[in-house]
Amino acid sequence: MSLLRLDRLLSLHLFRPIQRAGFGGRTFGIPILMYHSISEDEGSGVADYYRTNTSPAVFERQMRFLRDEGFHSVDLDQALRLLENQAAPEMKAFVITFDDGFRDFYTSAFPILNKYGFTATMYVLTGFIGDGRKSFKGRECLIWSEVRELRRQGIQFGSHSVSHPVLYELSWKEIESELTCSKTEVEGQLKEEVTSFAYPYAFPQQDRRFIEGFMELARASGYRNCVTTIIGRVKPGANQFCLKRLPANDCDDTALLAAKLQGAYDWLASPQTLIKNLKMCLRGSKKRDPGPAQTAQRRPEAPVSSRRNDG
Query: Are 182 and 161 in contact, with CB atoms under 8 Å apart?
Result: yes
70 band by pLDDT with thresholds 50, 70 and 90: very high
Q: How confident is the model at residue 220 (pLDDT cuts 50, 70, 90)?
A: very high
Look at residue 145 in the predicted model and tell me its pLDDT: 98
pLDDT bracket for residue 303 (50, 70, 90): very low
**With contact defined as beta carbons under 8 Å apart, do 94 and 71 qualify?**
yes
- For residue 286, CA distances in Å to 7, 197, 255, 280, 301 come to 32, 28, 43, 9, 6
Nearby residues of 119 by Cβ (< 8 Å), 6 or more positions away: 73, 74, 75, 96, 113, 154, 155, 156
Residue 6 vs residues 1, 12, 20, 133: alpha-carbon distances, Å: 13, 10, 20, 39
pLDDT at 5: 83
**pLDDT score of 305:** 38
Q: Determine the average pLDDT of the residues in 259-271.
A: 93
Q: How many CB atoms are closer than 10 A to CB 3?
A: 12
Fold classified for 30-283 = TIM Barrel (3.20.20)
Q: Cα torsion for 250, 252, 257, 260, to the nearest 10°? A: -110
User: With contact defined as beta carbons under 8 Å apart, do 260 and 31 qualify?
Assistant: yes
pLDDT surpasses 80 at 53: yes
Q: What is the mean pLDDT of residues 108-115?
A: 98
Any idea where the domains of the chain sit in the sequence?
30-283
Q: Are 144 and 133 in contact (CB under 8 A)?
A: no
Q: d(Cα 272, Cα 137) in Å, to the nearest integer?
A: 25
Give the pLDDT score at 87: 67
Q: For all residues of the chain together, what is the average pLDDT?
A: 89
**pTM for the whole thing?**
0.90
Res. 122: pLDDT tops 80: yes
Residue 41: pLDDT band by 50, 70, 90 thresholds?
A: confident
Find the length of the chain: 311
- pLDDT value for 308: 45
Name the pLDDT band for 301 (thresholds 50, 70, 90): very low
pLDDT at 274: 86
